[in-house]
Structure 1
């Protein structure tokens, strides 16, 4: 059994420094300090967890909620011969009540938003990086943004658009395209092309081991740097092929064969099928920068690349 912070073993025996840190944490919590503020305070004073890590709010709450903090068993009864404890039973019960009260005050978590144009279907108009779904705050509206740059990622982080201002206009454009004469035939032709591409990629992926075997046979006749470069390129090729195949497999099974009214179908279709149909109709949509208020019509910020 892992040692509980504050004690020398699971059988008891105080660890003086750890116990002191937990007692200070309890006092700060009783003084209406938040868990985050409490962690910052005891971390700054050099107190650490059993594993030597800095305290995090959820870890602190979990440790202080353990009944052995007050020498109690899982039923809340005193453990005979446990010895000195980090908290008194009264302090322990007060902390549990405090944590319960804080939990009741937390707003209910918002339901996860099912983004329609991620996975490469939308990209930043400034740097061509794929847009990702995000919320500015936990209570904010869902939005798309170009992710901030970081080492190895050349995104700019400068373009953002609310989800309804991106998804609504794109859906309208796709539905308008589906109302054109011959839309059903064109859609079936696109699906057939994508199925053909998927089949070629599937064969390519399945033949990867054979290509690697041939490459290994050439290892002795290639200089090490050339062999490493060839192996790296082959692995990258297979990885990209698998990713593309996974994406295509999400599109090619969209159940629209024989559908006479694609607009009515769209209105009752789950998001997965809507996303697939958009992926069949368009390659991607580029999202331009806002232009400091010039683009009141969100469609003016969008450039759709059709298949």
Structure 2
């Protein structure tokens, strides 16, 4: 078990530098500074957790809420021979009272939104990066967005759409598709194709150990750089195959074999099965940029690639 920040071990022994940082952070909290501001100060000063990570608000609260910060046991009694402490018992109790007061002032957490078109079902129409579900703020409406670019990620971050506008529009298109004559038969064929692909991927994954064994036999024949490249490519191939297999396994068991009114089924189906049916019918939903107000109808921003 990792030692507690501020001490040399769980039995005590003050860590002077870490204790100084925690005491200053406590002072900032008592001065009505936010937890995030206290963490920013600690990180800017070079203070780190025992794992070497930067401080985050929830980590700071967890550490300062440990009774050993004041040399107390889990019952709140002084630990005999613990030695010098980061906080005094009075400071520790004041901190707990402050955290409790702040918790009461926090608005109740919003229920997590169950997005219909994540996991690669929707993509940015500008950069073709997968859209992600998010909220602009804790009180904001659920939205889909292209994530901002960062190192190793070529997303553009320029496309965003409210979840209800995107999902309602796609739902209307799916309903229209389900009402077409022959849709039931087409779904049967699509599911058969997806099940066949899943079986191929399953067999491919099960043969991974044999392929790696054959590759290891070539270690002495290939130059090191070629062997490393082949091993890397093989591992990436297995990751891709297993990821695709997990996705297909969510689709192929969608319970529509005995359903004759697909439109009625869609309207009452749990989100899990709606998402699965969308994955069977649709390869990708491409979301275009808003066009600075030109696309008042959200369906005008969508390009659906049907399977």
Q: CA RMSD in A?
A: 2.8
The answer for unaligned runs of 5 or more in structure 2 is none
Q: Secondary structure at the match of 1:283?
A: strand
Residues 1:70 and 2:70 are matched in the alignment: yes
The 5-angstrom pairing of residues 256-275 of structure 1 reads: 256-275=256-275
User: After superposition, what is the alpha-carbon deviation per residue over 1:41-93, rounded to whole angstroms, capped at 9, x for unaligned?
Assistant: 45555666566765443333233323333343322233455555443333322
From the superposition, tell whether residues 258 and 226 of structure 1 become closer, same or farther in structure 2 (CA, over 3 Å).
same
From the superposition, tell whether residues 257 and 91 of structure 1 become closer, same or farther in structure 2 (CA, over 3 Å).
same
Instruction: Specify the alignment match of 1:107 in structure 2.
Output: 107
The 5-angstrom pairing of residues 1-307 of structure 1 reads: 3-7=3-7, 10-12=10-12, 14-44=14-44, 55-80=55-80, 82=82, 84-218=84-218, 222-307=222-307
| Inter-partner Cα distance in structure 1 for 2:218 and 2:43 | 56
Q: Secondary structure at the match of 1:285?
A: strand
| Inter-partner Cα distance in structure 2 for 1:207 and 1:72 | 56
Deviation at 1:285, TM superposition (A): 0.9
| Inter-partner Cα distance in structure 2 for 1:4 and 1:205 | 43
From the superposition, tell whether residues 193 and 95 of structure 1 become closer, same or farther in structure 2 (CA, over 3 Å).
same
Deviation at 1:251, TM superposition (A): 0.9
| Inter-partner Cα distance in structure 2 for 1:291 and 1:172 | 22
Q: TM-score, normalised by structure 2?
A: 0.87
| Inter-partner Cα distance in structure 2 for 1:233 and 1:46 | 39
From the superposition, tell whether residues 138 and 90 of structure 1 become closer, same or farther in structure 2 (CA, over 3 Å).
same
Q: Secondary structure at the match of 2:202?
A: helix
Q: Secondary structure at the match of 2:176?
A: helix
Q: Could you list the runs of 4 or more consecutive aligned residues of structure 1 that deviate by over 6 angstroms after TM superposition? A: none
User: After superposition, what is the alpha-carbon deviation per residue over 1:169-198, rounded to whole angstroms, capped at 9, x for unaligned?
Assistant: 111111111111122111111111211222
| Inter-partner Cα distance in structure 2 for 1:14 and 1:229 | 49
The answer for unaligned runs of 5 or more in structure 1 is none
Deviation at 1:246, TM superposition (A): 1.8
Are the equivalent residues in 1 in contact too, given 2:28–2:38 (CA < 8 A)?
yes
From the superposition, tell whether residues 242 and 80 of structure 1 become closer, same or farther in structure 2 (CA, over 3 Å).
closer
User: After superposition, what is the alpha-carbon deviation per residue over 1:256-286, rounded to whole angstroms, capped at 9, x for unaligned?
Assistant: 0020111111122111111110111111111
From the superposition, tell whether residues 255 and 229 of structure 1 become closer, same or farther in structure 2 (CA, over 3 Å).
same
Q: Which moved more, 1:39-48 or 1:157-166?
A: 39-48
From the superposition, tell whether residues 48 and 196 of structure 1 become closer, same or farther in structure 2 (CA, over 3 Å).
closer
| Inter-partner Cα distance in structure 2 for 1:133 and 1:296 | 21
Deviation at 1:203, TM superposition (A): 2.6
From the superposition, tell whether residues 284 and 219 of structure 1 become closer, same or farther in structure 2 (CA, over 3 Å).
same
| Inter-partner Cα distance in structure 1 for 2:262 and 2:83 | 73
